[in-house]
Structure 1
Amino acid sequence: MNPLPFRRLTINGKFLTARPTGVHRVADQLIRQIVLNQGLLDGVFATSPAIVAPRSAPDGTQGVHVERYGRLRGQLWEQMDLPRAARSDLLLNLCNLGPVALGSAITMIHDAQVFITPQSYSFAFRTWYKTILPLIGQRHRRILTVSHFSAEQLTRAGVADAERISVIHNGVDHVLAYPRVPEIIERLSLARRRFVVALSSTQAHKNIKVLLDAFSSPELGDTKLVLFGGHDRDDFERLSYNVPANVVFAGPVTDGELRSLLEAALCVAFPSTTEGFGLPPLEGMALGCPAIVAPCGALPEVAGQGALYAAADNPREWIEAIRSLAASPPFWLERSAVGVAQAANFTWRKAGTDLCNVIRLVAEDR
């Protein structure tokens, strides 16, 4: 019998030391699925999977042992310490980056945004990503991404050849487990079905300006736009955006608060000009909140017929789509049901099965 090619599956745990982001939440969900799907990896590795992380990392996640290693931090740790710790292993990187020096790796690159809309990122960030992503694509055994759109864009950007990229769609059913926190509705003085939820971001590709322009119209004067996230009114006004009076800045919200906002909202609006996946509108759809999205990036792939569409550069279309939901309760109920059905296609169980199948394929390819 041939010896197993790898001692174990090692998971890059650098993300444990950083502020939580959407990418990190995806990693957390996929690690949970690796634990639940251990049977799919039977006989592939000599020992159980482990997370290798910097010494400052907190305790384990999702029942996987955390092994602290090295003395460095951040990107230096990832590029110098981690390859030594995982030199006998198959390394899984779930948060866009991984060590270039270690070829026995599978890396999830969520999108190609630094190539598509570089103006959304700082010079240092986009320079680093544009340099390292093609090196990862050339060196690592397999590249994962979260949509067919992202796969096409990564290929076009020269990150990796199409045949070396596997698509694993995100799940969305995590949102159904969030405990409701309905107090946020009263705290923000909101009326049920009289407000629209959107992500507060000044990044160019998030395109929040088209919503601000739409809500400047008297036709939406009796409807509020609730923006959740880290950017506030001052951030938008510093960019010379006109922020109308019916815009409410909720600030960062908890998972439970977001669920309560989405369940009480008229709709969720997502006008991005490009997205690698587009989780917020799908989260809304899963909770019965109709979604209006721009027909851009991966949004048509993910939202399908479950969402309404409005042009990314046309405030009038956003006004009309929002008013159509407000004017007809039967139409709202129809769009709610269609959205729920579409969101049900995206589960973490399926994502985990797809991931474990890729891991096994790579590990057994000698």
Structure 2
Amino acid sequence: MSRTIAFNGKFFGAAPTGVHRVAEQLIDATDAWLTDNPGDGTDYALVVRDGVKIPAYRRIAGVREHPLVRWMHRIAWEQLYLPVVCRRDFLLNLCNIGPLLHGASATMIHDAQVYSTPGSYSKAFRLWYKFAFAFIGRRHRLIFTVSEFSKQELVRFGIASADKIVVIHNGCDHILKIQPDGGVVAKLKLTPKRYVLALANTQKHKNIEILLKAFARPELADVALVLFGGAKRTDFEGLGQTVPDNVVFAGRTSDAELAGLMAEAGALAFPSLTEGFGLPPLEAMALGCPVVAAPFGALPEVCGQAALYADPFMPEEWSAALLRLLDDEAVRRDLVVRGYEQAGLFTWQRAARTLLEAVAAAGTGRR
């Protein structure tokens, strides 16, 4: 009798996040791998809400919810409806949370930051995730995570034992399939190679304040800091942070616009105090944009020797490192070459193969 491995598609139709993008890429790569490698009688399905758009997969069948349950809240749908409709299936949850009582599951928990950096999240968010992780880490058969650092953190905070955690590094080669939109550079009135990209994010662990302080220093007065993402100038100022005049807010960008910005940037700055993985640095490297990062969290694991590192509490180190990249062509060329090599190590095909091998080794029958 054939078995079914079902992907939890709750995130389809929701607002895009980094976690959702990882799930989309991983499912797409899994479908491609299954297409090129004939299976063993296992069926694959993606269970989604009624009415949402999904890609046209070749080996993964789309299964839509019954119209009578479309009124359910997303959390209720995941916790009550999904385990019933997938009661005979092995369920793959790729966005941190899955049905708490569906033991025949593998769940990807990207990081333990609700424990390590609680100030970055609301109290309600922290309580729900900690409650859910207590069940998932013990009851679900496998826990996936995205780096060795995150695995250590999940063990340290007692979320799961090391023997049931499998590391699946993200890929970054999706960025190479996007045609960069170079028009965004002109639209924002930027000078190619004389601006630095970073996230527009006010979460404490993203540590963008250190960049605001660095770009207030006189040596960076003629360099623009371009922040992409949802946070606005008023959001940072509302936290008591000073935003210097050479900061440009790009707002939410399309994938093509972001690729265009990365391709023409002098550098990407990533000063996070912790990261479960840290995908933007690899995306930048794949497009020939050098990176300055903080030596914290999974960033040394992900960036390796292909980035410059700066102390995330010392703005003068950030200004010095960025000026090295902007003003020293030899340093820049060396880091670009290293970046291409580093990014080439992280592919979605490798991630999909690791996922399928781990699920096969764990067994997909119910217990």
Please classify the TM superposition score into its range, dividing by the shorter chain length: over 0.9
Separation in 2, partners of 1:356, 1:303: 25
Partner of 1:150: 150
Instruction: Tell me which of 22, 33, 56 is aligned to 1:37.
Output: 33
1:55 alignment partner in structure 2: 50
How far apart are residue 362 of structure 1 and its match? Answer: 1.9
Q: Distance in 2 between matches of 1:347 and 1:62?
A: 19
User: How far off its partner does 1:44 sit?
Assistant: 5.2
Q: Does 1:295 align with 2:290?
A: no
**CA distance in 2 between partners of 1:59 and 1:167 (Å):** 27
Distance 2:98 2:46 in 1: 14
Report matched runs for 1:300-339 at 5 Å.
300-339=300-339
Matching residue's letter, 2:76 = L
Q: What are the superposed Cα offsets for residues 168-206 of structure 1, whole Å, 9 maximum, x if unpaired? A: 000001111111111101110000111000011000000
Q: Distance in 2 between matches of 1:178 and 1:94?
A: 23
Shift of 1:33: 1.9
* d(CA) in 2 for partners of 1:81, 1:198: 40
Tell me if 1:8 matches 2:28: no
For 1:247, the equivalent position in structure 2 comes to: 247
State the one-letter code of the partner of 2:225. Answer: L
Please name the residue that 2:168 is paired with: 168
- TM-score of the two chains, using structure 2 as the length reference: 0.95
- Report how many aligned residue pairs link the two structures: 360
User: Which whole-Å CA distance do the structure 2 matches of 1:44 and 1:128 have between them?
Assistant: 37
Shift of 1:54: 2.3
Please tell me the residue identity of whatever aligns with 1:261: L
The alignment yields a C-alpha RMSD, in angstroms, of 1.4
Structure 1 partner of 2:258: 258
C-alpha separation in 2, matches of 1:364 and 1:135:
19
- Following superposition, the deviation at residue 335 of structure 1 comes to 1.0
Residue of structure 2 equivalent to 1:23: 19
- The structural deviation recorded for 1:321 is 0.2
**Counterpart contact for 2:83–2:99, Cα < 8 Å:** yes
1:1-366 equivalent positions in 2, closer than 5 A? 7-38=3-34, 42-43=39-40, 45=42, 48-60=43-55, 62-63=57-58, 64-70=60-66, 71=69, 72-363=72-363
Deviation of residue 41 (structure 1)? Answer: 7.3
Whole-Å separation in 2 of the counterparts to 1:314 and 1:59: 45
Contact 2:225 2:246 in 1 (8 A): yes
Moved over 3 A (4+): 59-64
CA-CA distance at 1:17 after TM superposition: 2.7
TM-aligned CA distance change 1:88 to 1:97, over 3 Å: same
Q: Which whole-Å deviations, capped at 9, do the CAs of 1:73-99 have from their partners, x for residues lacking one?
A: 301000000000111111010111100
Q: Which amino acid aligns with 2:47?
A: V
Separation (CA, whole Å) in 2 of partners of 1:364 and 1:349: 22
Identity of aligned residues (%): 48
Residue 65 of structure 1: CA displacement? 2.6
State the one-letter code of the partner of 1:267. A
Cα distance in 2 for partners of 1:328, 1:216 equals 21
What letter is aligned with 1:166? V
Q: Note the alpha carbon deviations across 1:26-81, whole angstroms, 9 max, x for none.
A: 11111112212226672252xx3111122243344544332122512301000000
> In structure 2, what is the Cα distance between the partners aligned to 1:53 and 1:185?
37
Secondary structure, aligned partner of 1:49:
strand
Normalized against structure 1, the TM-score is what? 0.95
AA aligned to 1:27 is: A
Residues 30 and 349 of structure 2 are in contact (CA less than 8 Å); yes or no, is this contact kept in structure 1? no
CA contact (8 A) 2:104 2:364 kept: no
Distance in 2 (alpha carbons) for counterparts of 1:217 and 1:314: 12
8 A contact 1:141–1:362 mirrored in 2: yes
